[in-house]
Amino acid sequence: MNTILTPRPAPAGARHKGRFSGWERQQEIWFYALISPWIIGFLVFTLGPMIASAIFSLTQWDLLTPAQWVGLANFTEMAADPLFWNALRVTIVYALGSVSLTIVVAMLVALLLNRNIRGQQFFRVIYYLPFVVSGVAVAWMWRIMYNPEFGVINLALEFFGIQGPRWLASSAWALPSLIIMSVWGFGGNMVIFLAGLQGIPQHLYEAADIDGATGAAKFWHITLPLMTPAIFFALTTGLIGALQAFTTVYVMTSGGPGNATMVYGLYLYNNAFKFFKMGYASALAWVLFAIILIVTLLQFKLARQWVFYETEA
């Protein structure tokens, strides 16, 4: 008996497999059209300069004459440069001091503002405002406050019979002065910590109250462990920013006195636009990039040991 074989109808949508319909093609065009400004900006202002700086780091170039290929000479020169090591040391001290103090102050203020007190919203706004003020304006304000003759800080210390230091004019106090000033912008971390505190389930505190836990015990065993994700975020972003410090140092001390505040970013800037050693400055930039990358990866690696989440067993 002869059997007539008829093709089985294709499932719905199979006819368009491997090719786009008119509507899908239109959506694809709109997708790339809308993200094209970001792609162009990334290629022109980020990826392009990074590739160019990688090439310049292997050359000797003063911006005025053609670049000369020197290979790894800039990196070997860096290893024997005492100013490079001084800038790296100053930057590490500044980053560790400023980030740790900022996190501690932001946490304390967040704990206070998380309570039901009168004027809570007003104080939240007041403490957050310094975070959005221009860095140059803040630097000039603190430079006036630190003035040893008529600065408000020394005048306040003199009122209590304390002779204030010379602050920015002293090689011993200049870097601590910058670290203290950096705490001024704790408002950003404060908002993050407030969000983290309000996300902690209240039933955990209620259970602790039933067990008779003290306030300190609840903080160490409930609040602090569940705040570690927010602390980790603040620590990571804070270190990345502090290792690239430039604006406030440039305005307040320009690296002085005696290179006591010569942070890495300012040393890089001076080599590029003051001494016109663009090749050496590019090498410095890539070393800083490598340092930030290693520090960030190390933080993510160590985060498994101290960052806890509510859903974890």
- pLDDT value of residue 7: 47
CA distances (Å), origin 248, targets 78, 118, 255, 270: 25, 35, 10, 15
Q: What average pLDDT values come out for the chain (313 residues) when binned by 10 residues?
A: 48 52 87 94 95 96 93 96 97 97 96 86 89 89 94 94 93 96 93 93 92 92 94 96 95 94 97 96 97 97 89 58
- pLDDT value of residue 48: 95
> How many Cβ atoms are within 10 Å of 86's Cβ, its own excluded?
17
Pull the structure tokens for residue 102: 């900022």
- pLDDT value of residue 311: 67
- pLDDT value of residue 11: 53
CA distances (Å), origin 191, targets 125, 194, 201, 219: 10, 5, 18, 19
What's the rounded Cα separation, in Å, for the pair 168 and 148?
Answer: 9
- pLDDT value of residue 4: 47
What's the rounded Cα separation, in Å, for the pair 205 and 220?
Answer: 12
- pLDDT tens for 101-127 read 999 999 999 999 998 878 888 888 899
- Residue pair 166/148 in contact (Cβ under 8 Å)? The answer is yes
- pLDDT value of residue 313: 47
pTM of this prediction? 0.87
Cis peptide leading into residue 257 (ω within 30°): yes
- pLDDT value of residue 118: 82
- Residue pair 86/262 in contact (Cβ under 8 Å)? The answer is yes
Pull the structure tokens for residue 139: 């630097």
Q: DSSP assignment of 267-287, as one string?
A: HHHHHHHTS--HHHHHHHHHH
- Residue pair 199/110 in contact (Cβ under 8 Å)? The answer is no
- 68 DSSP β-pair partners: 60
Residue 263: partners with Cβ closer than 8 Å, 6 or more residues away: 87, 90, 91, 94, 245, 246, 249, 255
